[in-house]
Chains A and B, each alone.
Chain A
Amino acid sequence: DAGVIQSPRHEVTEMGQEVTLRCKPISGHDYLFWYRQTMMRGLELLIYFNNNVPIDDSGMPEDRFSAKMPNASFSTLKIQPSEPRDSAVYFCASSLFSGNQPQHFGDGTRLSIL
């Protein structure tokens, strides 16, 4: 079975540019999560969706960050305008609704803002 698929795997861009990260969750999973990982702060939850609806975006650092889930098989995380301090690895994860089902992670997007 295909796991969580993220694209691009690497992104290097100049500050001020718009960045769009993409995620395809595991088919049938009801929840989708966006995380940011840095050495200093570890894994931080940015936002999560349930059945394509954003439930909690309290982890989104600033208004420059936005996320959408137009359908059950696709989500985007957008940064506009990007800043050097946004450089990090961004992970998408998905899980089933029922019980205590664990989250399954994609391989991440390594983002570098110059």
Chain B
Amino acid sequence: GQQLNQSPQSMFIQEGEDVSMNCTSSSIFNTWLWYKQEPGEGPVLLIALYKAGELTSNGRLTAQFGITRKDSFLNISASIPSDVGIYFCAGQRNSGGYQKVTFGTGTKLQVIP
């Protein structure tokens, strides 16, 4: 199925560093979502963005809905070891009466203590 272009694919960072990842698409979405998946678990919703240009924070996480509605980024400030996991972006748009979701390819984050 279709997937969003998410970058980087993986990151090794030192504890305390800031992290930035982004998603781009050739399609317009009306909602952008960011999920985190830890080993053996399902994706957990971190942030939902509903309006172009919207900037939303959740603790050390900040995400923005791109003005063009074709992209979004996620920043994590002052990373800690428990930030380790795979981060997925997801775009939602109306399709056949429901919100069709397209997932990014994921960014694998590893934090070195």
Q: How far is the CB of B63 from chain A (nearest CB, A)?
A: 13
1/0 contact trace for A82-114 toward B, CB 8 Å? 000000000101010000111111111010000
Tell me how many residues of B have a C-beta within 8 Å of chain A: 25
Chain B, residue nearest A43 (CB): B103
Q: Does A77 contact B (CB under 8 A)?
A: no
Q: How far is the CB of B61 from chain A (nearest CB, A)?
A: 15
Tell me how many residues of A have a C-beta within 8 Å of chain B: 25
Q: Does A50 contact B (CB under 8 A)?
A: yes
Q: Chain B residues near A59: list those with CB within 8 A.
A: 1
Q: Please classify the interface of chain A as helix (H, G, I), strand (E, B), loop, or mixed, using the class held by over half of its residues.
A: strand
Q: Does B43 contact A (CB under 8 A)?
A: yes
Q: Chain B residues near A55: list those with CB within 8 A.
A: 96-98
Q: Chain B residues near A93: list those with CB within 8 A.
A: 42
A100 B42 Cβ-Cβ under 8 A: no
1/0 contact trace for B1-38 toward A, CB 8 Å? 10100000000000000000000000000110101000
Q: Given A48-B98, A91-B42, A108-B41, decide whether A100 and B1 contact each other with a Cβ distance below 8 A.
A: no
Q: Does A15 contact B (CB under 8 A)?
A: no
Q: Chain B residues near A4: list those with CB within 8 A.
A: 42
Q: Does B88 contact A (CB under 8 A)?
A: yes
B3 A42 Cβ-Cβ under 8 A: yes
A100 B98 Cβ-Cβ under 8 A: no
Q: Would you list which residues of chain A between 18 and 71 have a CB under 8 Å from chain B?
A: 31, 41-45, 48, 50, 55-56, 59
Beyond known contacts A45-B1, A45-B101, A91-B42: 12 more, CB 8 A cutoff: A4-B42, A42-B106, A43-B43, A50-B97, A55-B96, A56-B96, A100-B30, A104-B45, A105-B42, A105-B44, A107-B41, A107-B42
Which 6 A-B residue pairs are closest in the complex by CB-CB distance?
Answer: A105-B42, A100-B31, A43-B103, A107-B42, A105-B43, A107-B41
